[in-house]
Structure 1
């Protein structure tokens, strides 16, 4: 099969032929019809995740058809249209049995713990626990966009922050996660303040329903929390860092009102040990700091129902679809990209290597 291969941390990705995977016991192989490209894939490429063993095939947001089924799988058959959360639980532990596979201690993550979906085929484990049926009305590019950014944003607001209608959300970062936050928060009846350095991304956030858009600079964001306080009369009830840096985390936390809730979605790479968080504000204002790590397959039906009803339109977030060869060129600089919306890869597109 064709796959994007990274031979070492930070190495130039290459599209080349590699062996097609076989279905593991309890798992399946999926023919990848679409797979998302996001900042988490850049972290894997850069070597920020110690689970990644090189040479490596990235990719963790995917949708396609089951092409082969391993021993012990009972719920899925060849030809089924499926997607999968980027966190795949073991299906056996107490957390999986409670419906919290996203924090499974024995989790697998395609594109991190094993080869991922920047390929024509990908092997997935514990299929009966992790696969999600894709309705016929949802195309593969839209389904692929759900696996990390959209599903994570949905759970961050619904299950972690427990956002209520009438509250205000400040979302720092208007990339795939941030734009998903805007769309979902508006569907839940909340007000939204979007923050980003890219005016085009903020324009899209406004089109999706953001009530206010604030341009942030690369080095000086001290006015953003003050602007949020002015707009809200003291700060927002909920803040989301959808980027993942000391700066964006700090801006989000300082944008909260007293007793507010912060949700950290963007990965924080270590800087001189551990990222610094403004804990004096957290303690003094009794803020809640919440992590959000994807969403288990059992929680997908509620989100998919809203998509089928038209209340959520993740397809509007898909900006472009590119072949593997172009994705290999884009990945090394993805942390600096100023794209608006979600980029999806078509592994079958392009020429043979």
Structure 2
């Protein structure tokens, strides 16, 4: 199969022929119809994830068609149109039994623990637990954006932060996750302040429902958010994953506000100075959010079918696999979500 491969961390990203995968007994192989290019893929390429072993094929946001089924799989057949969360749970541990497969200690992740979806085919584990059936009317490019960025933002806003209508929500970082969070929070009736260093990203944030936008990258971001929200946000999300955005998010909150950490914070890039004295004095909540389980997708898919959420509007570029390497290397420089749809 054709795949995007890197042999060294931070090294060349090239498309070449590699062996196609076979399904595990409980897994499937999917012919990839669409695969997003995400900042997490950039972290894998940079060597920030200890699970990644070179040579490696990145890619974890995917949608496609089942082409091979392991002998123990019961729920899926060749020809099924599917997507999958980026966390593939084991389905047998205490966390999975409790309904929390997104924190499964035995999880696998395509594009991290094994070769990913920036290829013609990808292997997925524990298919009966992890696969999500796609409605016929949902395009594969849109469905691919759900596997990480949109579904991650949905869980962070709706299920972790429990955003309520009328609350102020600050979103720090308006990449794919952040723009998704802006749209989802606005659809929930929240008032949104979006923060980013790029005017193009802020323009999209306004298009997707942000009431105010703030230029990031300098001092005074938290003060500006506090001013615009009349005392601080009820909910603030670090959707980028950087020391500065994490700290700004916590400092943007009003008393008893909720900070949600969504963007990855690889230790190799430095640890944030979280102002814990402020957390104590204002009784702030500091929450983590890690993807979304397959069993939670029906609510999201229902809102998309009803037109209340529009993830298709966030897909701003469809690319061929030969363009994927350059897009991954430049991730974050062009607003919106890039999806590979030609392999």
TM range (shorter): over 0.9
Name the residue aligned to 1:312. 309
Partner SS for 2:235: strand
The match for 2:257 is 260
Aligned pairs for 1:127-276 (under 5 A) are 127-217=127-217, 220=218, 222-271=219-268, 274-276=271-273
Q: Distance in 2 between matches of 1:328 and 1:174?
A: 22
Q: Map of 1:50-65 to 2, 5 A cutoff?
A: 50-65=50-65
Per the TM alignment, residue 162 of structure 1 is displaced from its structure 2 partner at its CA by 1.0
For 1:240 and 1:330, locate their aligned partners in 2 and report how far apart those are by CA, in whole Å. 25
Match of 2:293 among 292, 296, 312: 296
- Helix, strand or coil: the match of 1:305? helix
Question: Is the Cα contact below 8 Å between 1:118 and 1:347 reproduced in 2?
Answer: no
Q: Distance in 1 between matches of 2:201 and 2:262?
A: 18
Report the counterpart of residue 41 of structure 2 in structure 1. 41
Deviation readout 1:270-290 (Å, 9 max, x if unpaired):
158643322222222221111
Give TM-score, length-normalised by structure 1. 0.95
Q: Aligned partners of 2:249 and 2:334: how far apart in 1?
A: 21
User: CA 1:8 to 1:283, structure 2 compared with 1: closer, same or farther past 3 Å?
Assistant: same
Asked if structure 1 preserves the Cα contact closer than 8 Å seen for 2:243 and 2:270, the reply is no
TM-score for both structures, normalised by structure 2: 0.98
C-alpha deviations, 1:88-114, integer Å up to 9, x for none? 100111211222110000000000000
Unpaired stretches in structure 1, ≥5 consecutive residues: 349-353
Whether contact under 8 Å (1:120, 1:347) holds in the other structure is no
- Residue 83 of structure 2: aligned partner: 83
Query: 1:218-251 CA distances to partner (integer Å, 9 max, x unpaired)?
Result: xx2x222111111222100000001111111111
Output the CA distance in 2 between the equivalents of 1:313 and 1:11.
36
Q: 1:313-348, CA deviations, whole angstroms, 9 ceiling, x for partnerless residues? A: 0000000011121111222232xx321110001242
Distance in 1, matches of 2:268 and 2:312, equals 35
Q: Give me the whole-angstrom Cα distance separating, in 1, the residues matched to 2:17 and 2:341.
A: 16
* 8 A contact 1:265–1:292 mirrored in 2: yes
* Structure-2 residue corresponding to 1:92: 92
Q: Does 1:339 align with 2:334?
A: yes
Residue ranges of structure 2 left out of the alignment (5+ in a row):
none
